Structure 1
Amino acid sequence: MVDQIFFNGIIITMDRAQPTAEAVAVKHGEIVRVGSTDDILVLGQPKTELIDLKGAALLPGFIEAHGHPLFSALCWGDPVIDIRAVHTPTYDAALAKIRRRVAKAKPGEYIMAVGLDSTLHDGVREPSLEELDGIAPDNPLSITVFNFHAAYLNSKAIEACGLSGDLDPTLEKHVFRDKQGRPTRFTENAFWHARDIFFEKCGKDRAVRELREWLSKYSAAGYTTAAEIGMFPDWAGYFEAVRKQETLPIRIRVYEAGILDKHYMSKLGSGDDHFRTIGIKFWADGSIFAGTAAVSRPYLNTDLTIKKLNLPIDNRGQGTYTVNEQKRLMTAAISQGWQLAVHTQGDATVDVTLDLYEELFKKYPNANGPCRLEHCTTMRPDQVERAHRLGVVCSFFNPLAYYWGDPMRADMFGPGRGDAILPFGTAARLGMRVSYHCDSPMTWPDPMLCLYFATTRKTQSGKVIGPGEQVDIATALRAVTIDAAYHLQMEHLVGSIFEGKRADFVVLDQSPLSVDPENLRSIRVLETYVDGIRVQPVAERK
């Protein structure tokens, strides 16, 4: 007897041998038959649940190959102040919001605002130490930028985080100082140090509560699997606390954060089908918007880059590590059998990383793959070709270009380089199996936005950037289903509606294959299923 039969809808399998079907049978959470309605309905018994799709579309659940549900939980929710430009459009309004929160704070309470955006906040300027001290004279205050790669701290916060005085060289290289030599802006390792102190102050209960909320956000968006890519040792226990009380609504694949010359905390492959540690992730460079992504040709010298971002003339960014340090990080992961994912925003960083991959693959020909590059914002076509030849795959951050593609094109790189960002069309033509991701907490989980930008290359202003990098919807769907499953070493388990795989589904009110790409973002998620269990009844089918 089968437990469930899904029928009377548009079933998109993502199986090239059988792209569509009329019905699907499920037993004990496993797909046991895919085919015609007549062939599958006869498998039903009195206790079989018949799920009438009523014309809706059934697809394999979406997969976020580069996500941070736990990091998102730590970064958002009370007591964090949300100053993102999407709803606080001016710099003055953002500061006013922070002042209102400071007025309610107890002396000594650590206050964190998130979302300062030099590209989108009207009237933005780099906050000075005097300005931040004036806003919160009695409280540690940090203002984190929208991409989570930098923060501005007041004097109380600098002292509370142990970032005053002489610093360790690994931190000092990520501290920007004013003309008086005082630390003002903290990036990468220095920022992470301050950030984790804030997380600790907020307590474990708050993190567990917010994690539940973020897992639900992923599920509501149609995701049935997500990576937690870059898990720091201090974060251990949050997922376990939730799992002790309930079944996670989505599957999680963990990549531990690679830290130079530190032993890994996790055991390779530990966990089960719902929660497993599979890889190591580290940040080979920083952020485009912090000026810390290493690029081969300098940023433009514009009002945005020089005055608002406070970058040096002809800035080229820099890698987080020396080449030898990065080699040690990559060697440690690959030699011990871990899958490796490397954050690479700038094309100069991509060159270094591909050089090291090529060298290490010769020494470790059976490296646990697919080895990955993350974000790949300014990656060049020749680098995509080289990566594909090496067997390295790319995970592209599509919403980055949707929200910030206009300033990147106009004020950071110019039309030619700006149009070339996120070359997933080039990758598709070469046959690379890519994935698209939303990289929360920077943008919210939204597979439809990933599909929309992939097929239209339109930014939020409606401008088209790099039309030659557009892909068709069938190709785009693979990047959030079966090819994303391949990135997470889960192709045998999820990513397509195929006999023997788990019954992880998303139900949509329309088929993405039948709507104009302009209307992809209007498609609604109705339900999600994991192991055949309805975990997210988002909306009723009509």
Structure 2
Amino acid sequence: MKYWFLAVLLVCVGSVSPVHSESGPIGSTYDNVVVYEADKIITMEPGYPEAKYVAVSDGIVLAVAENLEELAAWTDGRRVTVDRQFASQVLMPGFVEPHIHPMQTIMMLPLPFISPEAWDLPGRHYPRVTGEEEYEARLREALAESEEKLFITWGHHRLFHGEMTRQKLDAIASERAVVIWQRSFHEIIANTKALEMLEIGTRDAFEAEFNRPGIDPSHADFETGVIHETALFNGVEKLRPYLFSPEKVKQGLAEMRQMMLENGVTTSADLAFGGFGGIDAEAPLFKSLYDRDDTPSRILAIPVAPVVEGDPNAWLAATSAKYGSDKFFFSDRVKLFADGAFFAQFMQMKPPGYSDGHEGKWITEPDVLEEQAERFWEEGWSLHTHVNGDKGVDVVLGILERLSTREAQDRVLEHLGYSTEAQNRRIGEMQLMVSAQPNYIRILGDAYARYGLGPDRAAQMNRLGSLERKKVPIGLHSDFNMAPIDPLYLAWVASTRITLEGNEKAPEERLSLHKALRAITIEAAQVIGLDDQVGSIASGKKADFVVLDRDPFASGARALNDVQVRGVIFEGRWFAAQ
């Protein structure tokens, strides 16, 4: 036994112990090594799935091992600290959130939530609200509590709260300017006072604002005050002064950082970069958060297609040079949009369609979508396509099948709310990947069974078990605020399929526990092209770990929602959750 190993055994009596070797000179690389001890280290690496110790230096993993002596190759002759504060806890790879929208998150967090499910946000709790009377009562309470010149709230859904129109809002708040943000985020409803404040209070002004290239005129209705889908971003632009005050931006950034930390997220991807305010407005804002030394996470910025002007690769080089950093960075990936929002029943459905006969909507018409896909694909970019309904899936699969074969590029389906078994077979055969939004079945499984889809199709929303059986790589995402930024919650939903009313829908479509945990770690990293850097605990990868109070594999799928995050180790540094 080496003298170094004996020294370690003798001095590791505290939670953190410095150990200096006496057996040789300090190494020329990785001079300072920290060895973290845990009750169990779950690596998510199939060849070496568990360990008890992990050695890190300069922000990366040097090695994992079952005992300290096995680490001698990396510790002998170097300055070593053995950190035992996690000796009774469990380490996993830092969680990966493959689809969020930081601008949306910053906008939403300062707003009061009145939604069908309860929300726990930093420093506050919003209870579940159901029924038309309960919604209106809570809305009146929130209005009374607010001094905002333009009151904005998020979370309304007509299947839980009744219909909402400009006229109904006028009756509730005739003297206040009010905007209701629908649960999908893809739709807002404004009362008369709000339309006047936003300078679109006459029919001529309203139609002039939304009669522009790229906007479907049917997506903005003056009579009802409803603005949605292709008209939404123009509506958001009108709301900008009321959403992005310095105080609200500061609050949104701080709370987004805290949500990531509290829920163990160390890597994420922005799947709509530039879409809310343009790259020159968004990039400095994000850098003000991610380039800070005390922000224990990084983000990949994936732009929406329209903001990438000219040669995509020249755009990527210029944008990376201007804004890129170690924790805020870019790659050759782009976000495309097919059909409409799942939470609003705007997704495009094949026959028999919707039970009330309404039609879904296209965010991007299929011919335009195909042009966008071809443009980026031929330049070597990977494609991330928002698609929700089975009619939309047919269109997207057809477009992807017609692209030239390029093995080094990824094709990722985003959300995939409802797909058929035949479509899932095609997805597997085409070797596509899926970044799934599992919260649809949790929030909407019962409501859509009663209205819109019927019991069979509603039960089979989020058909993830089928994809697992076909060996499709899957990531689980929040798309906040479609779901909380809470990967363990997403894994719990995907592996249990328990609805708000306590029903378990289509058990065969549950993810296995192992697959669900892969979908928030290594496979979540894979769908955004970062699995060579993050998503598992392995030599050479980023030293990103989440510290848990228990082993989620031992607890089982139904207890995933009870597992507590104690904090994260980001690039080798500890950050407590609280």
TM-score (ref. length: structure 1): 0.88
> Which stretches in structure 2 are left out of the alignment for 5+ residues?
1-30, 119-126
Measured after TM superposition, the shift of residue 259 of structure 1 is 2.8
Alignment partner of 1:338 is 2:368:
no
**CA deviation string 1:119-149 (max 9, x = no partner):** 33xxx32223223234444554211111111
**Residue 164 (structure 1) aligns with:** 206
User: Deviations for 1:479-527, whole angstroms, at most 9, x for unmatched residues?
Assistant: 1111111111111111111101010000111111111322111111112
Aligned to 2:168: 131
Whole-Å Cα distance in 1 between the matches of residues 341 and 241 of structure 2?
25
| Whole-angstrom distance in 1 between the partners of 2:304 and 2:426 | 26
Query: Is contact 1:176-1:184 (8 Å) kept?
Result: yes
- State how far apart, in whole Å, the 2-side matches of 1:23 and 1:204 are: 46
Counterpart for residue 124 of structure 2: none
Please give the secondary structure, in 1, of the residue aligned with 2:100: coil
The residue number in structure 1 matching 2:489 is 449
SS at structure 2 position matched to 1:14: coil
* Equivalent in the alignment of 1:32: 62
User: Aligned residue for 1:64?
Assistant: 97
One-letter amino acid matched to 2:39: G
Structure 1 residues 387 and 186: alpha-carbon distance in aligned structure 2, compared to 1, 3 A threshold: same
**1:128-207 to 2 correspondences below 5 Å:** 128-137=165-174, 139-159=176-196, 160=198, 162=200, 164-166=206-208, 167-168=210-211, 170-175=214-219, 177=221, 182-203=223-244, 205=246, 206-207=248-249
Distance 1:235 1:133, change over 3 A: farther
Q: Which amino acid aligns with 2:195?
A: I
Residue type of the alignment partner of 2:112: I
Amino acid at match of 1:130: Q
CA distances 1:37-75 after superposition (whole Å, capped 9, x unpaired): 133464276651423423311110111111223321112
Counterpart position of 1:380: 420
Match of residue 112 from structure 2: 81
Q: Deviations over 1:366-393 (max 9, x none)?
A: 3763221111011112212212222321
1:215-234 mapped onto 2 (5 Å cutoff):
215-231=257-273, 232=275, 233=278, 234=281
Q: 1:511 to 1:353 in 2, by over 3 A?
A: same
Cα distance in 1 between the residues matched to 2:308 and 2:195: 26
Aligned to 2:252: 210
Q: Is the 8 A contact 1:152 1:185 kept in 2?
A: yes
Q: Work out the number of aligned pairs and report it.
A: 515
Question: For residues 504 and 145 of structure 2, what CA distance do their matches in structure 1 show?
Answer: 44
| Residue of structure 2 equivalent to 1:241 | 288
Unpaired runs of 5+ residues, structure 1, are: 302-312
Q: Does 1:295 align with 2:360?
A: no
Instruction: Provide closer, same or farther for how the CA distance between residues 471 and 97 of structure 1 changes in structure 2, counting only shifts above 3 A.
Output: closer
What residue in structure 1 maps to residue 409 of structure 2?
369
What secondary structure sits across from 2:546 in the alignment? Answer: strand
Tell me if structure 1 keeps the 8 A contact 2:338–2:365: no
Identity, % of aligned positions? 24
Residue pair 1:261, 1:329 contacting (<8 A) in 2 also: no
Question: Measured at CA, do residues 481 and 104 of structure 1 come closer, stay the same or move farther in structure 2, by a change above 3 Å?
Answer: closer
Choose 401-410 or 505-514, whichever is displaced more.
Answer: 401-410
- State whether residues 290 and 297 of structure 2, in contact with CA within 8 Å, keep that contact through their aligned partners in structure 1: no
1:101 Cα offset (Å): 5.3
Structure 1 residues 299-310: aligned runs within 5 Å: 299-301=353-355
Q: Which has the larger radius of gyration?
A: 2
Distance 1:68 1:255 in 2: 10
Q: Which residue of 1 aligns with 2:21?
A: none
Alpha-carbon separation, structure 1, partners of 2:137 and 2:101:
29
| 1:347-496 → structure 2 map (5 Å cutoff) | 347-360=390-403, 362=404, 365-366=405-406, 369-496=409-536
Confirm or deny: 8 A CA contact 2:98 2:475 kept in the other structure.
yes
Superposed CA deviations along residues 277-313 of structure 1, whole A, max 9, x for unmatched, are 2322132111233231001024453xxxxxxxxxxx3
Contact 1:338 1:368 in 2 (8 A): no
Report the TM-score when normalising by structure 2. Answer: 0.82
Name which of structure 1's ranges 288-297 and 198-207 shifts more when overlaid on structure 2.
Answer: 198-207
Contact 2:291 2:325 in 1 (8 A): no
Structure 1 residue 351: deviation in Å? 0.8
**Does the 8 A contact of 1:151 with 1:185 survive in 2?**
yes
Q: Matched residues in 2 for 1:155 and 1:367: separation?
A: 53
Aligned to 1:6: 36
Query: 521-530 or 239-248, which moves further after superposition?
Result: 239-248
